[in-house]
Amino acid sequence: MTQVKDNHKEIIDYLFCAERDVREVTKVTDDYPALTVQEAYEIQDGLLERRLQEKGAKTIGVKLGLTSKAKQKMMGVDEAIYGYLHSDMLELEWEPVDSSKLIHPKVEPEIAFMLGEDLQGVDVTAEDVMRATKCIAPALEVIDSRYKDFRFTLVDVIADNCSSVKFVVGSKWVSPETIDVGNIGMVMSKNGKVEQTGSSAAVLGHPATAIAWAVNELGARGKGLKKGDIILSGAMSEAIAFEAGDTIVADFDGLGTVSMSVK
Ligand code: OOG
């Protein structure tokens, strides 16, 4: 176990309890304005350990965020972010997501990658990512920032495991060789009405480029990804809010659909 600083322990507890108690909280940087990005990733690691201990969850991969230039511009940053996916975040397509356990959730369409081999290093390329990928699938990621009004700085959102809460993966995984992964069109609808359209090209030009960035960041911290890990490669459009009774469907060219109903 890594050594956790005292103020980090307090922040980990604060964020863990906010999610557990389904309660929004003020930004961490309001109280700790000097926190760095590196410290925010250390807090994220501590939150992961706490979650693994208390919920018996396992790490099953990573997610990327802020991968589109539009979202980076909105946040005033020029870097993507990564967080962890835990086994208790995976929802099944045929079971409704329980909105009473969520604060102010939004959903965004992403391409899920599954690795066919381990991937670790500090100079990993998009080509390496594609070679290591066994298959890809359409996915919906539910984000639920623990912060009031979904407002935060880069440091806040990293500490909060990049707003992660749930995700659903479509049932059809395909080989990445059968499709132009860098330009997959997507239409996302809510209750039959189109809400967002997008392309995988919005994800740093190509989702594998975004994943290579995350692998190199992890590599610089002595970490890597394992065969079988799932990677959510970043939103292909803006996120949309939802509530009980809604059904969200995202249709990806060549990949098919993924859907999520909400109770
Ligand atoms: C941060 C995480 C967003 C993505 O793919 O951009 C994200 C947020 O809450 O907006 O997962």
> Which domains, from first to last, does the chain contain?
6-261 (3.90.850.10)
Q: How much distance in Å is there from the Cα of 26 to the middle of ligand 1? A: 18
**Local confidence band at 117 (pLDDT 50, 70, 90 cut-offs):** very high
Whether pLDDT at 33 is above 50: yes
**Range in 14-18, 47-51, 229-233 with the lowest mean pLDDT:** 47-51
DSSP code at position 207: H
Kindly state the average pLDDT of the residues 224-240: 97
In this prediction, residue 74 carries a pLDDT of: 81
Report which protein residue has its CA nearest ligand 1's atom 4. Answer: 65
Q: How much distance in Å is there from the Cα of 207 to the middle of ligand 1? A: 14
Q: How much distance in Å is there from the Cα of 83 to the middle of ligand 1? A: 10
**Range in 1-10, 38-47, 181-190, 220-229 with the lowest mean pLDDT:** 1-10
Share the mean pLDDT of the chain.
Answer: 95
Q: Which tens digits make up the pLDDT trace of 180-214? A: 999 999 999 999 999 999 999 999 999 999 999 99
Element (H, E) at 75: helix 69-75
Q: How much distance in Å is there from the Cα of 31 to the middle of ligand 1? A: 23
* H-state helical runs in 189-228: 207-220
Work out which ligand 1 atom sits closest to the CA atom of 108. Answer: 5
In this prediction, residue 4 carries a pLDDT of: 64
Q: How much distance in Å is there from the Cα of 162 to the middle of ligand 1? A: 6
Q: How much distance in Å is there from the Cα of 28 to the middle of ligand 1? A: 17
DSSP code at position 195: E
Choose the residue to mutate in 163, 164, 240 for probing ligand 1, maximizing ligand atoms within 8 Å of C-beta.
163
Tell me if 108 sits within 8 A of 253, measured CB to CB. Answer: no
Tell me if 160 sits within 8 A of 63, measured CB to CB. Answer: no
**Range in 118-122, 168-172, 226-230 with the lowest mean pLDDT:** 168-172
In this prediction, residue 41 carries a pLDDT of: 97
The answer to whether ipTM exceeds 0.90 is yes
Render 117-135 in DSSP notation, one character per residue: S-B--SS--HHHHHHHEEE
Choose the residue to mutate in 19, 24, 62, 66 for probing ligand 1, maximizing ligand atoms within 8 Å of C-beta.
66
Q: How much distance in Å is there from the Cα of 95 to the middle of ligand 1? A: 24
In this prediction, residue 257 carries a pLDDT of: 97
Kindly state the average pLDDT of the residues 19-30: 97
Cα–Cα distance, 234 to 105 (Å, whole number): 17
In this prediction, residue 3 carries a pLDDT of: 55
Ligand 1 binding residues, C-beta < 6 A: 65-67, 71, 108, 141, 143, 145, 157, 162-163, 234-235
At 61, phi and psi to the nearest 5?
Answer: 155, -160
Q: CA angle 43-35-203, nearest 5°?
A: 70
Report which protein residue has its CA nearest ligand 1's atom 7. Answer: 65
Whether pLDDT at 1 is above 50: no
